[in-house]
Structure 1
Amino acid sequence: MQTLDHNLIFPHPSSAPDHGLLAIGGDLSVERLLLAYQSGIFPWYSDGDPICWWSPDPRMVFDLQSDEPMRVTKSLKQSQRNKGYIIKENTCFTEVMRHCALVKRQDEAGTWINDDFISSYSRLHELGHAKSIEVFKEDVLVGGLYGIDLPEKKIFCGESMFNLATDASKIALLHLVKSLKSKDYHFIDAQLYNDHLHSLGAIEIDREVFLSYL
């Protein structure tokens, strides 16, 4: 594991062990974050700890080239029709991040989405690299997601999502899946396995396969 300094360089992501911890240190500058995502690396760490950079093997993705990249249940279809949700894009990016920071996650204390994260990713959003999908109910934000868009690679790097009403985050994800699939994207990068992502249709692929698309 390498300790980063001010130089904008990462070790090759394939050199990380399977759990994915590649390097520590560095900063959350726009330039370093873009280099990381374009290289198949992402930051994830607890508040108060040094920045940790990851490239796990295997990688969790939604395969947008498959016929059914996301599992759409009968109840989700009913929510689409009956809940009166309004879907928007990039209208309140920072608010989406702040909601994501409040999500309670199993086996995690606190959140990695601290003020430094929010500031850096909001800057990426201002520059057109970070995007959000928002779900509203009667002008109230009730769900959404955000991530880093790599259009030249046809990959969207999903970061986090939140849900304050029935199926709202799933509605946001389904909107993103349909939008990216229509643009012939390869993957939504979901990073690490968890049961919730698996239930939505995400699959694991070898790290080297994922990196080959970058």
Structure 2
Amino acid sequence: MIWLDSDDISFPDPELYDPENGLVAIGGDLKPKRLWFAYQLGLFPWYNEDEDILWWCPDPRFVLYPDAIKISKSMRKILRDNVFEFTENECFEEVMRNCKTSERKGQDGTWINEELIKSFVTLHQFGKAKSFEVWQNGELVGGFYGVQVGNVFCGESMFSKVSNASKAGFIHFTAKYQNQWELIDCQIHSEHLESLGAKMIPKQDYLKLLKQQKP
């Protein structure tokens, strides 16, 4: 296993280094410069708060092509009836903190800690990270955030306080940016996103597309 030096932001090349479980490196730090470099390489941090930082590039990769999104009849009605209102980049940190406290099936704890929040807020201030909010009656009820590398949106986490809020937000913004986003990186499998059309592709296909982007 490759351990990172906190004084050097270099990573193993995920195209050449291909561990079976997708774990590429351990350690380093969560400073904005390293995070931004990692996402450009196709890596992302995912670990528990009491663990060393773990950097992943799974194979296959779970992604969604915007033009392949599936919208059920019930979701079409929710969007048509304007059940929710949508904004973007209005309260990035609040979205992250809601994702941090959101309960997730099959997960005990969260990888979203204060250091990660601070670094992502910095990336947001530089236009590298974005948040998408879902509102109902003036209350923030759902949303998601991630990093944008060229025309690839790397989704990090989402939350929902009421039924269908995060799903409605994801569909709304995928449709809005359908002609801009070539791919949405969903990282690892979830039934929620699979129901919306996300699928597995070879890691090499994902990395090839990522290399074509101009951050």
Matched, 1:181 2:188: no
SS in 2 for 1:61: strand
Q: Deviations over 1:89-140 (max 9, x none)?
A: 0000000011111121122111111111111111111111100110111110
Report the Cα distance in structure 2 between the residues aligned to 1:84 and 1:119, rounded to whole angstroms.
32
Shift in Å at residue 164 of structure 1? Answer: 1.1
Distance in 1, Cα, partners of 2:183 & 2:148: 11
1:133-172, aligned counterparts within 5 Å?
133-151=132-150, 154-172=151-169
- d(CA) in 2 for partners of 1:96, 1:30: 18
**Is 1:125–2:124 an aligned residue pair?**
yes
Question: 1:165, 1:108 → 2: CA distance?
Answer: 20
- The offset of 1:179, in angstroms, is 2.5
What SS does structure 2 have at the residue aligned with 1:200? coil
Q: Taking structure 1 as the reference length, what is the TM-score of the superposition?
A: 0.93
- Aligned residue pairs, count: 208
Structure 1: runs of 5+ lacking an equivalent: none
Query: Where does residue 110 of structure 1 map in the other structure?
Result: 109
Pairwise mapping of residues 11-22 of structure 1 onto structure 2 (< 5 A)? 11-14=12-15, 15-22=17-24
Secondary structure of 2:49's counterpart equals: coil
Over 4 Å off, 4+ runs:
none
For 2:186, what is the secondary structure of its paired residue?
Answer: strand
Identity %: 44
Tell me the residue number matched to 2:8: 7
- RMSD, aligned CA: 1.2
**Alignment partner of 1:30 is 2:32:** yes
Name the TM-score, length of structure 2 as normaliser.
Answer: 0.93
Contact 1:62–1:188 under 8 Å retained in 2 = yes
Structure 2 distance, partners of 1:170, 1:155, is: 19
